[in-house]
């Protein structure tokens, strides 16, 4: 996703899943060596509960996006197409 799309997605996440609170939010620019995503990533420093996880998953699915949780962060990204 490009930068403006990442900003729109972030606004959508915060609108659709208002219970998600992050201590920090970072837009991470694309890297050529990225092995799982295409374009910008959104990094949220937060721990999701089950309801927040389900809300986020449903919203991102509609957008063709995915997320993963690692080391106290939730990373939102556009997955690479498998060929």
d(CA 15, CA 72) in angstroms, rounded, equals 22
State the pTM of this model.
0.89
pLDDT at 4 > cutoff 60? yes
The side-by-side arrangement of strands in the sheet containing 41-45 is 24-28, 41-45, 73-77, 66-70
pLDDT at 56 > cutoff 60? yes
Residue 82's pLDDT band, with cuts at 50, 70 and 90, is low
Q: What is the mean pLDDT of residues 70-80?
A: 92
Q: What is the mean pLDDT of residues 34-52?
A: 89
d(CA 33, CA 50) in angstroms, rounded, equals 32
d(CA 39, CA 45) in angstroms, rounded, equals 20
Q: Which residues pair with 28 in a beta bridge?
A: 41
Q: Average pLDDT over the chain, rounded to whole?
A: 91
What are phi and psi for residue 69, nearest 5 degrees? Answer: -115, 130
Please tell me the predicted confidence (pLDDT) of residue 83: 53
């Amino acid at each position: 996703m490009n930068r403006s799309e990442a900003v729109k997605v972030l606004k959508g996440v915060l609108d659709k899943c208002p219970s998600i609170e992050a201590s920090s939010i970072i837009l991470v620019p694309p890297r050529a060596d990225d092995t799982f995503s295409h374009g910008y990533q959104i990094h949220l420093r937060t721990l999701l509960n089950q309801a927040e996880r389900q809300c986020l998953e449903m919203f991102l699915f509609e957008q063709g996006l995915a997320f993963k949780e690692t080391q106290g962060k939730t990373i939102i990204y556009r997955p690479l197409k498998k060929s």
